Amino acid sequence: MTSGLKATLADALGIAVGDVVAFTGGGGKTSAILCLTEELRRSGVSVLATTTTLVGERFTSTLPTLTVDADHDRKDLLTKLESHLRREGATLLVRPVAKSKYSGPPVEFLREITSCAMADVTLIEADGARQRPLKAPADHEPVIPAFTTIVVPMAGLDALGQSVSAPAVHRPELLLAISGESTVGPGVVADVLASPEGGMKGIPKGARVRPLLNKARSVDHADALATVDSLDAKLPACVDRIILAEILESVFTVFHRDRC
């Protein structure tokens, strides 16, 4: 592999105008979307952020938010969304479902929104991990729209050295079925992200996959690199890169895979 630093997460992920980017796994999906929204908006690229699962108030208290009811008239909503995006440069589109919890629009309506190209880039939180760094998905997870162009399976390296249980792992019984190890090591993280029952689950046809290992500075650098190497050995050849990141410090290293 060859590696190099990138100035922004958008560059590290190779995001361009027209992309629909879905984030799965654990270890910082919300942080990634907030970081990208700020980067892209600062560069003049408009952003629609939403979810196909549930998100909390960290999103709604940080991003310009358009909150709608489930039975909102679609034509009226498209008009309001277009106006909100033009004014703010970024819009979080959600609907309240419980106290401090929000869902996104139905996937078929999200397809309609993206086909209108109101926003330059769409960012979707497509999985839930209960703020844990590592997870394996249940049968109904993740919820990645078929029109997604980039999928970002994520893991937090702060799980390394911890047992395969809470608070490091969400759905530990499913993760054990994938890896069979009781302690999270580089190989376990790689097993989960590279598995068709883990990070490679539900990838739409034609979508690019860009795995992201976050919280790189929470562990010894050698352990972080060992995780990258293990992941490189297990990912399908169609995956062209691995990103090692410390999102909250805006540090992004891209490892381009020789197998591609």
Q: Give the domains, in start order, of the chain with CATH numbers.
A: 2-45+120-256 (3.40.50), 57-118 (no CATH)
- Exposure string for 223-232, b = 16+ CB within 10 A, e = fewer: bbbbbbebbb
pLDDT at 259 over 90: no
Q: What is the mean pLDDT of the chain?
A: 95
Place of tokens 């991003």: 63
pLDDT at residue 70 in the model: 67
The percentage of residues in the chain with a pLDDT greater than 70, rounded to a whole number, is 98
Q: Between these two residues, 27 and 71, which has the higher pLDDT value? A: 27
pLDDT, tens digit, 9 for 90 and up, residues 2-40: 999 999 999 999 999 999 999 999 999 999 999 999 999
pLDDT at 222 over 90: yes
Average pLDDT over residues 189-204: 98
Radius of gyration for the alpha carbons in the chain, expressed in angstroms and rounded: 18
pTM of the model: 0.96
pLDDT at residue 258 in the model: 84
pLDDT, tens digit, 9 for 90 and up, residues 110-146: 999 999 889 999 999 999 989 999 999 999 999 999 9
pLDDT at residue 97 in the model: 87
